[in-house]
Amino acid sequence: MKLEEIKKFVKENKAEFIDVKFVDLPGSWHHITLPVESLDKELFENGIGIDGSSLRGFTRIERGDMILLPDNDTAFIDPFFDQPTVSFIGNIMESNRTVTPYSRCPRRVAAAAERYITKIVKGAQAIIGPEFEYYVFDKADYKQEPGMAYYLVKSAEADTIDDEAADNLGYKIGWKKGYHAAPPLDRTFNLRSEISTLLKNVGVGLKYHHHEVGGRGQHEIETAFQPLLKMADQSMLVKYMVKNHCFRSNKSATFMPKPLFNEPGSGMHVHQYLAINGNSIFFDKTGRNVLSKEGLYYIGGVLKHVDSLLAFTNPATNSFKRLVPGFEAPTAGTYSLGNRTACIRIPGYQRNPKTMRFEFRPPDATMNPYLGYAAMVMAGLDGIKNKIDPGLPLDKNLDDLSKIELDKIHQLPTSLDRATKALAADHIYLLEGGVFSEDLIENWLKVRNEDFGNIGRQPTAGEFELYYDC
């Protein structure tokens, strides 16, 4: 959008404020709000001064001054502001005379990855399509103190007796019986449709939404595919819309990978392919599983670097409570056609060669989408560059294999600690083309290792049950 177009958009919507949202290194949105009178050429050229030292994973206090530069192509009306407000998504820039992109700015990484793609495969772009799984609770409470630690979540859909939520109408969803449940079992279908309309109003297309397997309020929204950077922006918007609309509806939404013990976890499976002129270069009707050599090499790269990838795509201690057998979550570095226990699944229902793709199943929504999508693409491009053959697919249910059979298959990291150690040892492929930087990776590892150490020191209810009477 040109400035005059933005001013017209602001006038048409009678906006009173300009809001600029930006993402920190771990992947949380922050924002700053200005009066509409601030909308001028200088805003998009010189930006807004912010303190980068107050953002987790960014700079130190002695170098805290940074610039937030709105991206003029990201304007949308924020539906949660009472006063009409036009929002932009911004980039973090160095505070110097030339206003250069900050190396740790996640949007810079995603944009650099898009440029690097064209150097490896001329004219190509990465097309990304995530699936957003999340839980909606009627109540969520938690606390961690020296003498107290608990969490309590409640859902009216649950098949357990709860006096507060009891409505004497029945229609409770049983354990792992929520997949595509219909009303009245599916109690929040209207809420999902309302969220989908909000997303449509800000330019996020819908593929579909439905109730997920988890009977205590698990849901899924899948959006239309988009190029890497745009999809990362839209991923932030999806989480923003879901959480805020549920909040104003007196409910609580969480994208936490494993909020409930022994219940299905929430992933963010990422469909992806490289396209030239709108056609997937992964399709070859004579290839293995109708995949082209480029498609197979791309998969080979992802599988080669899968352990280190998980440090970006599954960057929470809670992520690895989801990646366990028995819940359709991958635990091994394999690929397959239509097999949901595989790390990489080639959807068996694909019929359109233009969108020939695969699905990387480990990721969850704790990841910073700018970094996670970029890392996956960089691994795939490394596979194409070096012609990494992924070998033959494994078309067996991994949950049914014997220990002897499983021992022959590469197992994914089982903790954040193992994933970060893998990233420390294997990240050269991410540095190609200046996409990631040593500085960013070093600080990413620092932030995530702090999380791992902090959570590892906290007693849990399960430990009390096991060890209190030792």
Q: Which of 220, 222, 233, 382 is catalytic?
A: 220
**End-to-end Cα distance, the chain:** 66
Question: Rounded to the nearest 10 degrees, how much is the dihedral formed by the CA atoms of 319, 324, 330, 331?
Answer: 100
pLDDT at res. 461:
85
C-alpha–C-alpha distance, residues 358 and 195, integer Å: 27
Bridge pairing between strands 17-23 and 85-94: parallel
Task: Specify if 196 maps to a domain.
Answer: yes
Task: Specify if 247 maps to a domain.
Answer: yes
What are the structure tokens assigned to 422, written together? Answer: 């893998």
Q: Which of 361, 382, 427, 448 is catalytic?
A: 361
C-alpha–C-alpha distance, residues 365 and 132, integer Å: 7
- Residue 92 near residue 68, CB atoms below 8 Å: yes
pLDDT at res. 272:
97
Residues constituting the chain: 470
State yes or no: is 271 an active-site residue.
Answer: no
Taking CA atoms, 51 is separated from 60, 105, 276, 312, in Å, by 10, 14, 40, 25
Q: Which of 133, 186, 222, 382 is catalytic?
A: 133
C-alpha–C-alpha distance, residues 371 and 24, integer Å: 11
Task: Specify if 431 maps to a domain.
Answer: yes
C-alpha–C-alpha distance, residues 242 and 253, integer Å: 7
Q: Do residue 21 and residue 162 come from a single domain?
A: no
Rounded to the nearest 5°, which phi and psi values hold at 429?
-60, -25
Counting DSSP H helices and E strands in the chain, the numbers are 14, 18
- For the segment 408-420, what is each residue's pLDDT rounded down to a tens digit? 889 899 999 999 9
pLDDT at res. 468:
78
Q: Do residue 71 and residue 173 come from a single domain?
A: no
C-alpha–C-alpha distance, residues 77 and 36, integer Å: 13
**What is the DSSP code (8-state) at residue 252?**
E
Apex CA 36: angle with CA 196 and CA 48, to 5°?
90
Q: Do residue 73 and residue 215 come from a single domain?
A: no
pLDDT at res. 163:
55
pLDDT at res. 350:
78
| Rg of the chain taking only CA atoms, in angstroms | 23
Q: Do residue 260 and residue 203 come from a single domain?
A: yes
Task: Specify if 377 maps to a domain.
Answer: yes
C-alpha–C-alpha distance, residues 437 and 79, integer Å: 36
State yes or no: is 359 an active-site residue.
Answer: yes
Q: Do residue 14 and residue 160 come from a single domain?
A: no
Q: Do residue 361 and residue 220 come from a single domain?
A: yes
**What is the DSSP code (8-state) at residue 323?**
S
Bridge pairing between strands 85-94 and 252-254: unpaired
Q: Facing residues of 21 across strands?
A: 31, 89
State yes or no: is 212 an active-site residue.
Answer: yes
pLDDT at res. 62:
47
Question: In the chain, how long is the greatest CA-to-CA distance?
Answer: 71
Task: Specify if 108 maps to a domain.
Answer: no
What are the structure tokens assigned to 134, written together? Answer: 């999340």
Q: Do residue 265 and residue 369 come from a single domain?
A: yes
Q: Do residue 97 and residue 229 come from a single domain?
A: no
State yes or no: is 220 an active-site residue.
Answer: yes
CB atoms within 10 A of CB 30: 14
- Residue 270 near residue 360, CB atoms below 8 Å: yes
pLDDT at res. 165:
52
C-alpha–C-alpha distance, residues 18 and 209, integer Å: 31
Q: Do residue 293 and residue 146 come from a single domain?
A: yes
Q: Which of 19, 78, 138, 359 is catalytic?
A: 359
Task: Specify if 107 maps to a domain.
Answer: no
C-alpha–C-alpha distance, residues 433 and 378, integer Å: 10
C-alpha–C-alpha distance, residues 320 and 323, integer Å: 5
Q: How many domains does the chain have?
A: 2
Which CATH number goes with the domain that contains 459?
A: 3.30.590.10
Q: Do residue 170 and residue 59 come from a single domain?
A: no
Per-residue confidence of the chain (470 residues) as pLDDT tens digits?
Answer: 899 999 999 999 999 999 999 999 999 999 999 999 999 999 999 999 988 888 887 876 445 688 999 999 999 999 999 999 999 999 999 877 677 888 899 999 999 999 999 999 999 999 999 999 999 999 999 898 888 888 999 888 886 655 555 555 678 888 888 889 899 999 999 999 999 999 999 999 999 999 999 988 999 999 999 999 999 999 999 999 999 999 999 999 999 999 999 899 999 999 999 999 999 999 998 888 889 999 999 999 999 999 999 999 999 999 999 998 777 788 889 898 867 778 999 987 777 899 999 999 999 999 999 999 999 999 999 999 999 999 888 877 777 777 888 788 898 999 999 999 999 999 999 999 999 999 999 999 999 999 999 888 888 888 888 887 88
Q: Which of 71, 138, 212, 222 is catalytic?
A: 212
Q: Which of 30, 340, 432, 451 is catalytic?
A: 340
Enclosing domain of residue 230? 114-467
Residue that finishes a domain, picked among 73, 102, 131: 102
Task: Specify if 405 maps to a domain.
Answer: yes
State yes or no: is 322 an active-site residue.
Answer: no
Render the burial of 428-467: b for 16+ CB within 10 Å, e for the rest: ebbebeebbbeebbebbbeebeebbeeeeeeeeeeeeeee
What are the structure tokens assigned to 339, written together? Answer: 């097999």
State yes or no: is 30 an active-site residue.
Answer: no
C-alpha–C-alpha distance, residues 469 and 61, integer Å: 47
C-alpha–C-alpha distance, residues 15 and 39, integer Å: 11
Q: Which of 187, 211, 216, 269 is catalytic?
A: 269
Which CATH number goes with the domain that contains 64?
A: 3.10.20.70
Q: Do residue 315 and residue 272 come from a single domain?
A: yes
Q: Which of 51, 389, 438, 442 is catalytic?
A: 51
**What is the DSSP code (8-state) at residue 355?**
G
C-alpha–C-alpha distance, residues 129 and 401, integer Å: 30
Residue that finishes a domain, picked among 102, 131, 157: 102
Residue that finishes a domain, picked among 102, 128, 155: 102
Q: Which of 19, 131, 157, 186 is catalytic?
A: 131
State yes or no: is 269 an active-site residue.
Answer: yes
Task: Specify if 109 maps to a domain.
Answer: no
Q: Do residue 95 and residue 119 come from a single domain?
A: no
State yes or no: is 186 an active-site residue.
Answer: no
